[in-house]
Amino acid sequence: MYQSPRRLCSALLQRDASGLRRLPTPGLRRQSPPPAAAPRPASPRLLVAASAASGAARSCSRTVCSMGNGTSRLYSALAKTLNSSAASHHPEYLVSPDPEHLEPIDPKELLEECRAVLHTRPPRFQRDFVDLRTDCPSSHPPIRVMQWNILAQALGEGKDNFVQCPVEALKWEERKCLILEEILAYQPDILCLQEVDHYFDTFQPLLSRLGYQGTFFPKPWSPCLDVEHNNGPDGCALFFLQNRFKLVNSANIRLTAMTLKTNQVAIAQTLECKESSRQFCIAVTHLKARTGWERFRSAQGCDLLQNLQNITQGAKIPLIVCGDFNAEPTEEVYKHFASSSLNLNSAYKLLSADGQSEPPYTTWKIRTSGECRHTLDYIWYSKHALSVRSALDLLTEEQIGPNRLPSFNYPSDHLSLVCDFSFNEEPDGLL
């Protein structure tokens, strides 16, 4: 939801700052909150509010799409169609502008400002990387990939009914800082996000100035548009560091099921590593939610696999697929990916004792319908061409707490997944 720029952060990225520098430590923590009587820190200067670059797109989105819950489905459909049509006819809405025209910002300064906003909240959770290397070190730095459903703001406040989560914990002014802090702490080279409904006013302006190139593909019929004072449609976003990768090609995919176009989307990009000149494909998706839609998800997964088969030239190009599949490992769509001719493996299985079991959960929440603990999020990779060097361990039940997610400590109902990949010795036939 759009918030008034008079809040803590009144101007977006107005200061000159030094170039991008990677932070040294993955497990960054805030200091304990100061006493209640302590004066509030000065207003941060790098965080969200309306930027000139993104203001026009956000204004258009709010004008077309802002609807109350009582609005008719006919008007809702019309507004969403207009929004989707506008995006399809204006590719600049889907791909970020040339970063050479944007002044870089220092990630340390942005992190400090996030922590200033969050100074009254408890410290962020500590998570550690698990070393999974089984061979000699690679001659090139690993590729760090983050997968995360960040929880659309409109859905978190307007539709998802997290009955144990205080309303104050969902305020965008602070929740966005928790999201940014998580990203800054783990410093991914590639960032795959779902449920992004603040792309133009938050993530694209900030991450582009940290050196990322971003692409956004909204759902054509986003449920966010039914929420009053929404910030436009949610969708998938994919970011990569431009100092490490060169974009070879990009495809926005609207998934089909039984030949019908659906409301779910994917982004697939072929990147070339600047250090090694090796190419690989990275994809992000978010499949249909809800019990009873298993066959629908299965069909969407098959369609995505077929698209990826074509993009990778029959698995000649190594592949990483990140997503919220909304499917447990027992579902058909999971089995399709596990048995695909693309020769994929699920990275987080490697954290289990036998290397064959998925984590017990990647999302844990309490709604009016009851408590939900599921494994729905995955990072798939080409096991013939790539190796997982490390993976970020999950939060424990004790860390998550009895009220589950989201919370004052954690901004989403889904956990972020982070893996470090390296290329295997180049097999014959691979690019």
In percent, the amount of the chain with pLDDT more than 70 equals: 76
Provide the pLDDT for residue 271: 98
Domain limits for position 363:
136-423
Contact by Cβ (8 Å): 240, 211: no
pLDDT digits (tens, 9 = 90+) for 196-228: 999 999 999 999 999 999 999 999 999 999 999
Q: For residue 345, is it within any domain?
A: yes
> Which of these ranges, 19-33, 88-102, 175-189, 275-289, has the smallest mean pLDDT?
19-33
Provide the pLDDT for residue 98: 55
Average pLDDT over every residue of 110-129: 94
CA distance 31 to 122: 9
Average pLDDT over every residue of 271-279: 97
Residue 56 reports pLDDT greater than 50: no
Q: For residue 88, is it within any domain?
A: no
Residue 119 reports pLDDT greater than 90: yes
Residue 353 reports pLDDT greater than 50: yes
CA distance 159 to 136: 49
> Within 36-130, where are the H helices?
52-65, 73-89, 107-117
pLDDT band at 46 (very low <50, low <70, confident <90, very high): confident
How would you write 388-405 as a 3-class SS string? EEEEECCCCHHHHCCCCC
Provide the pLDDT for residue 355: 93
CATH number of the structural domain spanning residue 219: 3.60.10.10
Provide the pLDDT for residue 430: 54
- 328 or 57, greater pLDDT: 328
Residue 57 reports pLDDT greater than 70: no
Q: For residue 124, is it within any domain?
A: no
Q: For residue 40, is it within any domain?
A: no
Domain count, the chain: 1
Q: For residue 85, is it within any domain?
A: no
pLDDT digits (tens, 9 = 90+) for 133-185: 887 677 889 999 999 999 999 999 988 889 999 999 999 999 999 999 999 99
pLDDT band at 428 (very low <50, low <70, confident <90, very high): low
C-beta contacts of 64-72 below 8 A and 24+ residues apart: 65/225, 65/230, 65/232, 65/233, 66/228, 66/229, 66/230, 67/225, 67/226, 67/227, 67/228, 67/230, 68/228, 69/158, 69/226, 69/227, 69/228, 71/226
Q: For residue 22, is it within any domain?
A: no
Q: Is 168 helix (H, G, I), strand (E, B) or coil?
A: helix
What does pLDDT average to over the chain?
Answer: 83
What type of residue is 401? G
CA distance 387 to 174: 36
pTM to 2 decimals? Answer: 0.82
Provide the pLDDT for residue 100: 56
Residue 393 CB burial class (10 angstroms; 0-12, 13-18, ≥19) = middle
Q: For residue 169, is it within any domain?
A: yes
Q: For residue 53, is it within any domain?
A: no
